[in-house]
Amino acid sequence: MRKGLFYGLLFTSPAILGFIIFTLGPMIASLVLSLTDYNVFKAQTAFVGIDNYTKLFSGEDELFYKSLGVTFYFVVLRVPAVIIVSFVIALLLNLNVKGRSIFRTIIYLPSIVPAVASAMIWMWLLNPDLGLINTILGWLHLPTGNWLYSEGSVIPSVVITTLWGIGGTVIIFLAGLSGIPKQYYESIDVDGGGWYSKLRHITIPMVTPTIFFNTIMTIIGSFQVFNEAYILTQGGPNNKSLFYVFYLWRTGFRDTEMGYASALAWVLFVIILIFTFFVFKTSKSWVHYEGGERA
């Protein structure tokens, strides 16, 4: 028993060490720092209690609420879009068509393109004057847009660019779909139901655990959006795409106010925690587990 424990710890120690040194340690440090006025360049760091947090919530820092609003808007638009689009794509890829694996590869491919590269591609596609998207819209005599460069359309445009990389989510949906036993569908065939009945009564209930997982991961990922602001918009126009993490980065690394940035980080952590908790709570009523047991 003792020996077992020893070897267990020995073999898991790289992971445990990694977690403690690179995750837990910095987290605790940042929590402590969020209670100070730590500025990298200042020699003296004073303990300021919850001053950073009061500054955040008192409305003194307008950009805090602004960036929070921008990020919420992004999450609200993006999460349903990602889930619905990737689910539909997964359904299509799950059909028994010729060249299925090629389609699957194509859908997944953008996910391995570096974020910076795909952001650059999108910058060109969405270019108001020369971009492919406006050009095609022009041919079809449809209204064109300023996409990333106008206050109203910048967030929806960013959402569109991020849909490009949903291959990972699709793969997880596919895994969920392929786990559904064939005989369920056969029983619907016997009862004379069509594709809609299959979707409504078998496919969707059976993949709710996958939907649940993907929703949580997408929410967490969406709250932490950064590359798009950093590369595509720099927060503009008029701060309309000032994403929370971008603002946090700017506070920490451009203004070097690490203490304050740590407070920002912890607020985001708590917000994500609350959202995740909320989704977990509601999951009881809509997530279906085959054995009837909840995890």
Question: Quick one: which of 284, 86, 77 has its CA closest to 177?
Answer: 86
Taking the complex as a whole, how short is the minimal distance between the CB of residue 236 and another protein, in angstroms? 6
Residues whose CB is less than 8 angstroms from the CB of residue 102 and which lie 6 or more positions away in sequence, other chains included? none
In the complex with another protein, the residue whose CB is nearer, 5 or 190, is 5
- Angle subtended at Cα 160 by Cα 270 and Cα 205, rounded to the nearest 5 degrees: 70
Choose which of 45, 94, 111, 127 interacts with another protein (CB under 8 A). 127
In the complex with another protein, the residue whose CB is nearer, 105 or 238, is 238
In the complex with another protein, the residue whose CB is nearer, 221 or 236, is 236
Stretch that binds another protein, among 99-107, 166-174, 234-242, 276-284 (CB under 8 A): 234-242
Q: Which two tokens stand for residue 290?
A: 């085959």
Residues whose CB is less than 8 angstroms from the CB of residue 119 and which lie 6 or more positions away in sequence, other chains included? 161, 227, 228, 231, 232
Residue 30-69 contact track with another protein, rule CB under 8 A, x = bound: ----------xxxxx------------------x------
SS3 237: coil
Burial class for 97, CB neighbours closer than 10 Å (0-12, 13-18, 19+): exposed
Answer for the pair 259, 45: CB distance below 8 angstroms, yes or no: yes
Dmax (CA) of the chain: 77
Stretch that binds another protein, among 4-12, 48-56, 95-103, 267-275 (CB under 8 A): 4-12
Judged by CB under 8 A, does residue 110 bind another protein?
no
Stretch that binds another protein, among 174-182, 201-209, 230-238, 277-285 (CB under 8 A): 230-238
Q: Which two tokens stand for residue 19?
A: 């977690």
User: How many residues bind another protein, per CB under 8 A?
Assistant: 30
Taking the complex as a whole, how short is the minimal distance between the CB of residue 146 and another protein, in angstroms? 6
Task: Give the footprint of another protein on this chain (CB under 8 A).
Answer: 2, 5-6, 9, 16-17, 20-21, 25, 40-44, 63, 127-130, 146, 149, 236-239, 253-256, 258
